[in-house]
A and B are shown apart, each in its own frame.
Chain A
Amino acid sequence: MEGKTILLVEDNPDHQELTRRALAAADIFMFTVILGEGPEALEFLHAEGAWADRDGKRLPALMLLDLKLGASDGVEILRRVRQDARTKMLPVVLLTSSSSQADISRAYAAGANGYVVKPVDFDEYSSALRAIAAFWLDVNVAP
């Protein structure tokens, strides 16, 4: 997993911290970029604005996207990721609290590669992250 990056987009600072800990508990010591806002994530991916000095050709191996971000809608961010030729093949897994059927359909319709409901139990959450990382970073062959 050398050189691979995970991009986590999550607006709740508590959950940012918890996800970081859950990744660590799952022995995933990978470079993780954590961003709180959707537009900022887009700037990061396109190497624009605050991230203009980033190498735009280097995309993260996986984007973990929350469905409900403070000001923006996760699905909307996903749609914009898919619209851009540079990022349209980026693996994106939605990591969310909502198990509502409408949200699930909306996410897949917008081009999600996966939809994971975050368990309340921290240990279960950690195992879920381990499974996600194992598949998307190890098993899966990226574009």
Chain B
Amino acid sequence: MTEQPGTHEIPGLVVEPARILRAARLCGAGALALGAVGLLGWIFGIPALQSVLPGLASMKANTAFGLSLCGLALALTGDPAGRLRRPLAATAAVLAILIGSLTLFEFLFALDLHFDQAVFKDSTGSALPYYPRRKAPTTAACLILTGTGLLASSVRSARARACARWAGLAVFAVAVIAATGYVYGVRPVGVVAYHTTQMAVHTAAAFLLLSAGIALSRPTEGWVATVLARDAGGSIARRLLPAAVGVPLVGGLIFHSGQRAGWYGEEFVIAAVVVTTVLLTSAATCAAAARLGRADLRRRASEEELRRLNFELESRVAGRTAELASANRELEAFASAVSHDLVAPLRTVDGFAAALQHDLGPSLGEPATSHVRRIRGAAQLMGARIEALLDLSHVGRVEMKREEIDLSAMARDTGEALRAAEPTRAVDFRVQPGLRASGDARLVRALLDNLVGNAWKFTAKRSPSVVEVGLEPGGAFFVRDNGAGFEPARATKLFQPFERLHAQDEYGGHGIGLATARRIVERHGGEIRAEGVPGAGATFRFTLGG
């Protein structure tokens, strides 16, 4: 099947399209076989193959040829393999149209082009006086319509394919009339019989197959799609159509045979067929309606359920949001309490240790002087750690406001602050100009402070110390230094709180800065990675999402 862009959407078919296409090709093969039977009848002169039963109209040789061509064209549809398929099918269809047109032309202008007898001599005695050896005009018209339908259904234009469907339907209607004629044992009478030969039995059968095949060759379009659609409409169609088509046909056949047996007259047949049709199609309609009603009820119930679930979900989300807000407030209060109640005693420790140093001074002597220094160092470190932890918790809670940031200017500010804090250090600080980012200015500032501050700290033993801030071609910002570096195996552990790169007294620091940096990056929806070589420096790459 060739999927055409722009074909209307359908909610899937109850039968796989590939299987429908296979059925279409089978229809084509059937028509081809029927045509071939007719041709064989003419080649070997077997009347049974020409007209099935003695006395019935025969399938003319060129009709048989035309039907074979149409069958071939249909059998070739939808087969994905073979590049010759489409031109071959089109040629066959055009030839069928040509054969039909010539016959119709003869009828219209009362001419005899003698092509009917071109190959095989029709020697069957026919009761019909007028052009007995020529196929029926209906047959000719059907050949034209079938050929056109086959051609048009393979075209890209949706309108052309709609025409193909109508052509197929017309052929179907004519073939059904002919077929029911045979089933009911009706012979053409009067003017119709005088002017034409009848459509042969197997010709009618072949046209039925061909018209069905034309419709089935486009399973996702037209009434095939409507009937086979996996929706309420398709379900109704599948239930009503058999009744609408089958009841009058079968009923007619049954009551008609009774009439022929002489049990009752024609009026009774009509009345009986009408009543049967009315009753059975009404019953089928009611059954389908009841089924549709139940389906609708189920659908409405599930819609109601869906609405209820949606509402539940919304209220649950609202509840969770409120919980989260309250948890946030609690955390905020907790942070405030921590900063006051945990830090205040530390200040007392450091303050009075300082008082000892001040009041006793040199008279304190060693090792007491050293002890007091250590007390103060520990108190101050703990103070710094608590502050860093509060920062980390703050970074996770604070409301974000994304804006355009001049990252180069921000990095230079950070560098200036670090330079001012350690005026004795000479650091070669290089910032790529024109770095722009989108993020929360305060958080990104804290991120840069952490990363650049780290680089500053770990290049203390280098000469020259080089710290670089820039943008990589891949779109990640980087902070690179030529400092102490780290073992590559530790690259991911670095971002956990209290994970330290180096021994405490070597570089100082509280071990929370990179955890804060990671949380800032994650809150922006970005990523941060560390890369290091021991003794050769470290590179931190980060993105800021958005």
**A15 in contact with B350 (CB, 8 Å):** no
Selected contact of B350 from candidates A96, A100, A103, A121, CB within 8 Å: A121
CB within 8 Å of B: which A95-132 residues: 96-103, 118-123, 125
Per a CB cutoff under 8 Å, which of B335, B344, B355, B382 touches A12?
Answer: B344
Among B339, B352, B353, B384, the one with the most A-chain Cβ atoms within 10 Å of its Cβ is B339
Q: Residue A67 at the B interface, CB < 8 A?
A: yes
Tell me if A68 counts as interface (CB < 8 A to partner B): yes
The interface residues of chain B lying within 8 Å CB-to-CB of A67 are 340
Contact A15 B348 (CB under 8 A): yes
Flag if B336 contacts A14 (CB, 8 Å).
Answer: no
Given contacts A18-B348, A100-B335, contact A120 B343 (CB under 8 A): yes
The count of chain A contact residues (Cβ–Cβ below 8 Å) is 24
Check B352–A14 contact: CB distance below 8 A: yes
Q: A15-B348, A18-B348, A122-B350 are in contact. Are A98 and B339 (CB under 8 A)?
A: yes
Question: Does A99 lie within 8 Å of B344, measured CB to CB?
Answer: no
The reply to whether B347 and A100 contact each other, CB–CB distance below 8 Å, is: no
Q: Which residues of the partner chain A approach B347 to less than 8 Å between Cβ atoms?
A: 15, 18, 97, 118-120, 122, 125
CA gap between A99 and B338 in the complex, in Å: 10
CB distance from A37 to the nearest CB of B (A): 17
Bound together, the chains give a CA A122 to CA B398 distance in angstroms of 30
Q: How many residues of B contact A (CB 8 A)?
A: 27
A58 within 8 A of B: no
- Cα separation A91 to B347 with both chains bound (whole Å): 25
CA distance A120 to B335 in the complex (A): 17
Which of A18, A102, A120, A122 gathers the greatest number of chain B CB atoms within 10 Å? A120
Report whether A18 and B332 are in contact in the complex, using a CB–CB cutoff of 8 Å.
no
Seed contacts A100-B339, A103-B336, A120-B350; 11 additional CB < 8 Å A-B pairs:
A12-B348, A14-B351, A14-B352, A21-B358, A100-B335, A101-B398, A119-B347, A120-B343, A121-B383, A123-B354, A125-B351
In the A-B complex, list the 8 residue pairs whose CB atoms are closest, starting with the nearest. A120-B383, A122-B354, A18-B351, A100-B336, A14-B348, A122-B351, A97-B340, A97-B343
Q: List 30 A-B contacts (CB under 8 A).
A: A12-B348, A15-B344, A15-B347, A18-B352, A21-B351, A22-B351, A25-B358, A96-B340, A97-B339, A97-B340, A97-B343, A97-B347, A98-B336, A98-B339, A100-B335, A100-B336, A102-B336, A119-B383, A120-B346, A120-B379, A120-B380, A120-B384, A121-B376, A121-B380, A121-B383, A122-B347, A122-B350, A122-B351, A122-B354, A122-B376
